[in-house]
Structure 1
Amino acid sequence: MKSFVVIAAVRFQRDGKARQDTLLKYQGTLPNLTSVSQCIRVNLQQSRQYNHIFSYAVPDESNELVFCKGFLSFTYRYKYINLACCGGNVDLEVPLPTPLRQWIPVCFALDLQRRAIRLLVAGAVKEYPLATLAELALVVRGGGLLVMGQDQDSYGGGYIESQSFSGILVDFLLFDRLLPDKDLIAFGECRAMSTAASPIVSFSNVERDFRSENVEVERMRKQDVCDPQRKDILIFPELRPFEEAKRLCNISGGELEVPESEEQDWSLFNKCVPYAKFCNTGSMTNFWLGVKGNVTTQTWYHYITGKVLNYTDSSLKRFTIEEPTTCVAFVGDNKTNANQHANWDSVDCQEERCPLCYLNEVVFLKARGLCSESLFDRDYFLTTDNGAVTFTGVYYSMITRYFPSQDNDTGESDYGHWVLSRLDKPSVRATLQMDSPTHYPLGRQEWIVDNDVCGVDTMVIMMTVCKEHQFSCDDGYCVRIQQRCDMEVDCPDGSDEMGCEFLTLDLSYNSDNPPPRLDATKPVEIKLHIDIFAIRKIDVTNFRFTCEVEVTMEWFDSRLRFRHLNYASELNSLTGLERQPWRPRLEFLGDRNTASDVQERRVTLSVRRYTTPLRDNDEEVLESEIFEGGENGLLMVQKLTVTTPCQFNLEMFPFDQQVCHLRLSLTGVTNQYVTFLADEKGIDFRGRKRLLEYQLVREAMVPHDQGNYSGVEVQLYLRNLSNFYITSTYVPTFIIVVIGYLVYFFPLANFNERVLVGLTGLLVEATFFSQVNSSIPHTAYMKLVDIWMVFCILTLFLVVVSVVIIQCVQDSPTVIPYKPRKPKLVLRQSWSTKPDVWKSNCWNLSSMWYRWSSRWLSGSRAVQLNRWCIIIVPLGSFVFLAVYAVMASNRVF
């Protein structure tokens, strides 16, 4: 049989009440000391303002030697150990982790001659100098009084509740010499020290060496003190189904126990026996384990991880896993047969058993919703004693269950109630009525309050185990804080998507005033971005265009604070709020500041998150990530249909280019206070740039203030898609001109056909001109297309006129005399630079031209006129077309 070392343990203030009369007094006296070593193991059950382990006083000095561990404020971060001695000439504070409800070794060696102290910190020895005057002789004077568990503010008295000790002390050793580092480390590791010296004070015989006042001296196994592994079992003495048991363990900060060995089975059995009378089910089993069975694979697995168990009780192997007996219960009653003790059994998950909750660390429950001045503790931990579950505050409060009382008038019984009280101030209390026998003050509950300083009669308190960056559901479950108000239900009760107001405006907030300027010389900037999704219509006739616009504005308002923001700004909507924050008002103008027609399609207001949240405020019942308005932007998106005038210049139509302007201006506040600032891109066109008649070449946005009001101007550069007019107007009309020109090649005798073709072409051109003119804008000035049509009509008109003139000339012909001659043609092999040779070559060329022109223009005068028309009309048209092409291609962009 395995043997255990049993040591004496002294428990102070078991009931949690801070008192002045719980202490140990050493019966002997101490000698003068210049070297002191002290070691002790401490389990702090509750914290006071200062938690004094011991104090040593002489008649004229209360702080001759004081050793305490305490907290400036109980935030679980600012923890230190304090040593004072030698008439107050030494006062040293050293950071040291001081967790609650865990065993920690405290060991130091104080060398007053060297003015230094060596302290065991986290398994290593560190040395710290003592800051004192060099001329002072440091000594701990003997003959005084050693008290444990209290601080002596006067010799043998002056005790204060807030400077008492609540916890357990074991292995107290006080030496009158310096221990080496290896002994300090050995003590911390629960190994034997190498020193042969005996301590001058110890707990080897507490009852003989100390006089106790309201303390309990117990016996503990040293293994339980020195074992670094922590495994607490929290037993709730009420029967409930498996799912409810699982939920209760979860919201208590633990999980259902799953033993991993036969030794753990028996250890668990011993812990369950005292609770068996509260968990009597009428069957062999009475406690739930965190084990479930898989019907398909016939295996037992951990109910959270889903992993198949390496260890199961042998009694469980004989069961076939089938519905509904897929849960496992534990035999924890010693009144059953001895061969059934600590057995596992397969049972229906809907049956009721008591939960066995496993906690691998000290779990603190935070009470949220208390005002900052409240007298109640904000942190609690669960304890069980003789079937009673208690919520013990880390300082002075406690939550205790009071069982139901009989109603003499109706004969009915209630379910009892929970009382939150200050142990040192009984009149300060809060009460929670139970609505069922298994109702615990976990999650969000409404309490009736008496005599607290918050000044309210009722108070909603959230008792939660959720840690930093977690959100507490109303029923006590914990989810990630990022899951709060993300439009997905994550809490079992759906409370994470309730109360999702991202902004609550103070009554003093004025929505008509813009955000305050952080710099008096610099206006508040509104970052502006414009997206044009489509140009729906360019109405050249009415000189206007219509476009689909999305205007995005972002600004910061330092007066605001936001809550639980998501990184996706679409989820941080403020659109539905009854009271809206200040928003910029826009005015849309066209060319020359003409008014625009604006149809609002959609407006959204949201918050864009940039920073991490502020520190959580536990005065609020629900955890909320709070963000500063000066660091996280308001984002307003307006989807609009805008019809705005545009002053088209159509002189070059249909080869024209246009620049249309859309101006946006702030109203209601001058640019001294608020101004526009374009973002990196400024403007984006997201639609098709090739429209029906025009093509968008480029877009731009430039600053353009309207008087004292900040504004911007959107510039759209458009180019006419002239291919349509070329194919539908220019080519047909040009073909008709060519057809009219061909009459010059008809025989002169066919006058009727010549005139008829010319007149027909002229009429067709006139008809084209009328049709084109009706489909394009009417202007007082000539457009390029007008010039073209006039050219075509005028050309055909001249053709008809010339045909008539030729016919008139033909009726009275005159023959041009022609004298043939044979000029002597001399062709030289090469051009010469000699003057006589050059003149001869020029003469030969002129002679050739003369002979050809004489033959071509020979005949009647009518023939000559017709031939001249054949030459002149194409030449004139070519000159016109060249000039016209230059004008049409003369584009600015």
Structure 2
Amino acid sequence: MLWVQVNVWDRVLAAGEIQRMARCEDDPQGNYVSWEVGWTLQEVTSYEASLDDFCKDKFDMTYWFPSLTHVESQYLCSSMGSRHPSATDRQEILALVDKAQAKFPASHSCYADQWLNITDIQEEGVWRDGKTPVRGDIMWKKQEPNGIQYENCVSINGRGGLDDVNCNTNAKCVICFFEGPKRFSLLGTCELELRNVYFMVVQPDVGELQFLGYGAYKIMLQEEVWVWLDSVTNHTIATMVNTSLNFPMGRRWWKLERSVCGQKAGGLRRLLLSPCPPGHFTCDDATCIAIDHRCDFKHDCRDKSDELGCEVVSFPEDYQNHLPPRLEQEEGGVSLPITLTVGVESLGVNTLAMTLEVSYTLSLTWVDNRLLYRNLKHNSNLNVLSLATVRLLWAPEVAFVNTVDGHHTKMDYETNVRVNRLANAVERNSSSPAEEDVFSGEHNPISAVRKYGTVFTCTLHLGLYPFDLQHCFMRFRITSASKVFLEFNFTSSSVTNFGNELLVEYTVGTLELVKGESSTYSEMWVRVPLKRLASYAVLNIYLPTLVLLVVDYFTLFFRPSIFDVRMMAALTVQLVIATLFSQVSASLPKTSYFKMVDVWLIFCIGITFLTIIFHVLVDACLYSVPKDAVIMVGFKTFRDNKKGKAGSAAGSLCSSKPGDRMVLWSKIIVAGVFVIFNLIYWIYILA
């Protein structure tokens, strides 16, 4: 019986009208040609059918296949998108037996001997329906199961119950149940019209299969060979190469009888007959997995075919990897933006060598509109390119300008190159024997990420040492082409410090990007602000010298008569400060200018020298003898002797009063010089 209805409209139907017609909710008549009016039927018997009957699918839900092994039964049912029976209790088993005995004679293999989808292959004695353990009692035949590890499959033995049998040496009837009509897709044919892609499976007789296309195509078995036919022209398009499981479902090799996808007749081409719905990937054995599980670095297909053919990049024939991509083909097109992302993991500053030692991750991101990508995942870590693909790919080269040995970016086995999915697929690859989505290279950028350890030169201005602020730079320059063709994208570029901000000598400020100053090539600089930790210098330089200066100053309070002690103490202080000065100078770079620590130590040496001068002046003032002094020699009585002593003291040119004044002025001058210097010194530093 053929159901026919023809209506023609002189307008475009709304989407809602089409949906209601497809759901059999409405039966509108055409305003240009109506099925209800104007038709003359000749030699045709007319029946009136309700709308429900017109839209009801008539589909046999059970397919039977006699004499197949257990492996063949597993493949056959799953490859058609149907299920294998897994009855275990008495009611389910008897229902299957009744259905088989009503359809077949007692001599037929399907009458009372069918496979079930139950095994204990995974663990002896634990029976599973696929991967799920069977719950409840199993209706075993008497004395069954008895095959221990040699019999791991289950079959129905009529009304007597279930047997455990050998999976490899037995051939039994296979029953495949369908939940509803199943649509198959023939992929890899370059057909653009869906009617030439979609097929329905039918079973003309027990053990037989045919695939009827929505259009003119069909796939059927002829003389033990599967053929793909054009039923309108009655021409064979291709014949399938026989396999151990000789069914067309899955990924199979076909010998072309006429040209397909530009491939000439006589060649072998791989095609896929898939029962999988949209959003799924078809394994080689025609089983289905979610499309997101393909090429995710783990096997999801039973035959592990989901991790094959995972190449991401599709190169055009005229691709040249020594030329950068251009955003516009017209003359004077804009330069290609390159996004620079720097993640600093650790920093180290060598003050003596004036270098910045950085361990960091460098990421370059760009688009290549010449490329097409296949099966991109939202997780970019699953879109990693192989090293062989990377070597065929154009990639920008970035030089590290201010490095000791002139380093640059590398594309090697340590480089992680991946594609970032930012846009949806533009089309489905009709020439591929798989569910393969195609993505545009113009909207899905490439990122190359690699870890580097680089020593950058850094010109340190140490005039304010140890209270200085420094700015070191990591200079990056695109050397693949001039800025007319390639340029850093300053807006989308970024730098982040993931390392410790507290170093041995410095604290690291906020890292920032600045545009470079090159006129020919595009440059991007990473500014690294460094604030020196002055506590080290204060504890090891300023505080010890301050203590020594206090000691030096207190020598002015020693008795003037112990000149040797005063001088030895002052000279010792000066010697210690001079030694400290030489040690500090050796630990810092040689500069043509004075550093603030140099000024401090020179001042310390100078003020100790001033103290020594005052010691000499005080001693000279108190104990020197004038040149014109007359020494009287004669005999004296005890009384005269007492008078003489008093007279000599009174007659000295450098009396005690001027000496006391010299001692006092030495204390005042040294203290005053120290205070004035420190006011100027610290005000200058703080300013």
Q: Normalised by the size of structure 2, how large is the TM-score?
A: 0.82
Tell me the residue number matched to 2:273.
463
Match of 1:719 in 2: 531
- Confirm or deny: 8 A CA contact 2:192 2:430 kept in the other structure: no
Distance 1:287 1:770, change over 3 A: same
2: distance between equivalents of 1:717 and 1:306? 64
Cα distance 1:500–1:189, how it changes in 2: closer, same or farther (>3 A)? closer
Asked whether 1:234 is paired with 2:60, we answer no
* Aligned-partner SS, 2:490: strand
1:461 to partner: Cα distance: 1.6
1:173 is the counterpart of 2:47: yes
Aligned residue identity for 1:802: F
- Does structure 2 retain, via aligned residues, the 8 Å contact 1:599–1:641? no
1:547 lines up with 2:547 in the alignment: no
Aligned to 1:287: 114
Question: 1:796: how far off?
Answer: 0.9
Shift of 1:731: 1.7
- In terms of fraction of residues, the more strand-rich structure is 1
Using the TM superposition, give the Cα deviation of residue 627 of structure 1 relative to its aligned residue in structure 2, in angstroms.
1.1
Deviations 1:817-872 (A, max 9, x none): xxxxxxxxxxxxxxxxxxxxxxxxxxxxxxxxxxxxxxxxx952212211222222
Q: 1:288 is matched by which residue type in structure 2? A: W
2:635 aligned residue: none
Equivalenced residue count is: 642
Q: Following the alignment from structure 1 to structure 2, what is the Cα–Cα distance between the partners of residues 353 and 373?
A: 41
Structure 1 segment 246-257 matched on structure 2, within 5 A: 246-257=74-85
User: Alpha carbons of 1:97 and 1:400: their partners in 2 closer, same or farther (altered >3 Å)?
Assistant: farther
* Equivalent of residue 179 in structure 2, options 357, 360, 364: 360
1:383 aligns with 2:202: yes
Deviation track 1:626-683 (CA, whole Å, cap 9, x = no partner) reads 2111111111123222222222111111222211222222223333333212356721
Distance 1:676 1:441 in 2: 53
Aligned CA distance change for structure 1 residues 123 and 494 (closer, same or farther; 3 Å):
closer
Q: Give the conservation status (yes or no) of the 8 Å contact 1:383–1:392.
A: yes
Identity across aligned pairs (percent)?
Answer: 22
AA of the residue aligned to 1:257: P
Task: Specify the SS of the correspondent of 2:452.
Answer: strand
- The alignment status of 1:450 with 2:257, answered yes or no, reads yes
Answer whether contact 1:540 1:777 (CA < 8 A) is retained. Answer: yes
CA distance in 2: counterparts of 1:882 and 1:736, whole angstroms: 19
**Of 62, 73, 84, which aligns to 1:245?**
73
**Do the aligned residues in 2 keep the contact of 1:555 with 1:633 (CA within 8 Å)?**
yes
Matched, 1:493 2:319: no
Conservation of the 8 A alpha-carbon contact between 2:610 and 2:670: no
**Deviation at residue 320 of structure 1 after TM alignment:** 5.8
Kindly indicate which of the two structures has a greater share of residues assigned to helix: 2
Relative distance call for 1:172 and 1:349 in structure 2 (3 A) is farther
Check if 1:421 corresponds to 2:319: no
Contact 1:375 1:422 in 2 (8 A): no
Aligned to 1:637: 449
On the 8 A contact 1:598/1:642 being kept in 2, the answer is no
The answer to whether the 8 Å contact 1:588/1:598 transfers is yes
Instruction: Find the counterpart in structure 1 of residue 384 from structure 2.
Output: 573
- Preserved CA contact (<8 Å) 2:97 2:112: no
Structure 2, unpaired ranges of 5+: 627-654
Contact 2:471 2:529 in 1 (8 A): yes
| Residue 440 (str. 1) matches residue 247 (str. 2) | yes
* Residue number in structure 2 paired with 1:757: 569
One of 478, 484, 487 as aligned partner of 2:294:
484
Q: Does the aligned pair in 2 maintain the 1:597–1:643 contact within 8 Å?
A: no
**Counterpart of 1:114?**
none
Once the 2 structures are TM-superposed, how far is the Cα of residue 808 of structure 1 from its aligned partner?
0.8
2:239 corresponding residue in structure 1: 431
Query: 1:733 corresponds to which letter in structure 2?
Result: T
Q: Verify the 8 A CA contact 1:596 1:642 in the aligned structure 2.
A: no
Instruction: In structure 1, list runs of 5 or more residues that go unmatched.
Output: 1-9, 13-41, 43-52, 54-66, 69-81, 85-89, 100-118, 149-170, 175-183, 191-224, 332-339, 404-415, 815-857
Instruction: Evaluate the alpha carbon distance shift between residue 264 and residue 320 of structure 1 in structure 2; reply closer, same or farther with a 3 A threshold.
Output: closer
| Counterpart check, 1:517 vs 2:322 | no
Partner of 1:160: none
- Does residue 268 (structure 1) correspond to residue 99 (structure 2)? The answer is yes
Q: Counterpart of 2:42?
A: 146
Q: 2:163 matched to which residue of 1?
A: 346
Q: How does the TM-score come out when normalised to structure 1? A: 0.65
Measured in 1, the distance between the counterparts of 2:30 and 2:209 equals 44
Q: Deviations over 1:139-189 (max 9, x none)?
A: 638xx55254xxxxxxxxxxxxxxxxxxxxxx9435xxxxxxxxx8xx345
Q: Which whole-Å CA distance do the structure 2 matches of 1:657 and 1:586 have between them?
A: 29
Compared with structure 1, are the counterparts of its residues 349 and 380 closer, same or farther at alpha carbon in structure 2 (3 Å cutoff)? farther
User: How far does residue 319 in structure 1 lie from its aligned partner after superposition?
Assistant: 6.8
C-alpha offsets along residues 276-300 of structure 1, whole Å, 9 cap, x if unaligned?
A: 64x37xxx84212345689999998
Give how far 1:230 is off: 5.8
The CA deviation at 1:734 is 2.0
CA contact (8 A) 1:599 1:642 kept: no
* Distance change in 2, residues 1:641/1:266 (3 Å): closer
Q: Distance in 1 between matches of 2:352 and 2:119?
A: 80
Q: Aligned AA for 2:155?
A: A
1:541-572 per-residue CA deviation (whole Å, 9 max, x = no partner) reads 33332212322121222211111222222232
Residue 274 of structure 1 contacts residue 386 of structure 1 at CA under 8 Å; is this kept in 2? no
- Cα RMSD, aligned residues only: 4.0
